[in-house]
Amino acid sequence: MVEPKVLSPDKTERARGIYLLLASLFIASLITCNLIANKFIQLDLGFYTFVISVGVLPYPITFLITDILSEMYGRKRTTYVVIAGFVVSLFVLFLLGLGNTFPAIEGSPVKDAEYQAVFQNSVRIMGASMLAYLSAQLVDVRLFHFWKRVTNGRHLWIRNNFSTILSQGVDTLLVITVIFIGKRTTGEIASMVWDGWFFKMIAAAGDTLIIYGVVYAFRKYFSLRRGEEIKI
């Protein structure tokens, strides 16, 4: 593989700023996915009607961002962001639990029962999601770089799609199984796993043009060769 490129000081500073922005968007998307995951919807795309959690809608953004980070900043820097997302999720779990320890005052817009119905269920879902998230994201980063080595930096669409589709399959299987095992039938669980994974596969295919555009912009601005990463 090509060695990471050392940039000029001013461009290194810009590259670090973009890295922090992408990391922030990743963590914000991750936390939002977990907080809104209690609501389930039907999503009709014409050719198929999905029954999914609304938390699934922004979740493909996290994999798109890790693929961009992997392509431009390398495996080590991307793994830092994945671990940071896990730590922040733990912190949010702590804050949600802390908020539940204090009773609501009379006249509070949100009552204890309402808080518990939304956020305490989020604690359970976030616990399951964190297990699935860490496993899937680490799989995604490793698969992405595996395909990058195999193709010698060519065919970005292969590593973008194959790493995301497989890792999101791991994520969907783990999170749905942990949440619903013993509460739903095997058939119902299998149906939810398929709907969630199928939707994520479509999203992965759809974001291929986005990652090509972003990578092109990176390479042009930072004068990078094919497969070259940025050293920050």
Structure-block tokens of residue 35: 């907080």
CB 4 within 8 A of CB 74: yes
Measure the CA–CA gap between 123 and 159, rounded to whole angstroms.
Answer: 33
Q: What is the DSSP letter of 109?
A: S
Confidence of residue 1 (pLDDT cuts 50, 70, 90): low
Provide the CA 11 distance to its chain's centre, in angstroms: 27
Q: Could you give the count of Cα atoms lying within 13 Å of 98 in the half-sphere of its Cβ?
A: 6
Mean pLDDT within 182-211: 86
Predicted confidence band at 188 (pLDDT cuts at 50, 70, 90)?
A: confident
Q: At what angle do helices 9-35 and 59-73 cross, to 10 degrees?
A: 160
DSSP-derived 3-state class of residue 111: coil
pLDDT category at 179 given cuts 50, 70, 90 is confident
The tokens 């995604």 sit on which residue?
140
Query: Are the beta carbons of 64 and 70 closer than 8 angstroms?
Result: no
Amino acid identity for residue 183 in this structure: K
Return the SS3 of 225: coil
Q: Where are the domains of the chain?
A: 5-231
Residue 86 has which token pair?
């896990």
At 103-123, the pLDDT tens digits run 899 889 988 888 887 776 656
Q: Which CATH class is domain 5-231?
A: mainly alpha
Q: What are the two backbone dihedrals, phi and then psi, of residue 51, each rounded to the nearest 5 degrees?
A: -110, 105
Give the rounded distance of the alpha carbon of 209 from its chain centre.
Answer: 18
- What's the pTM? 0.83
Tell me the per-residue pLDDT of 120-159, one tens digit each, with 9 for 90 and over.
665 666 677 777 777 777 787 888 888 888 887 788 888 8
What is residue 149's predicted lDDT score, i.e. its pLDDT?
83
Whose tokens are 């817009």? That residue is 109
pLDDT at position 121 is 61
- Tell me the C-alpha distance between 84 and 117, whole Å: 28
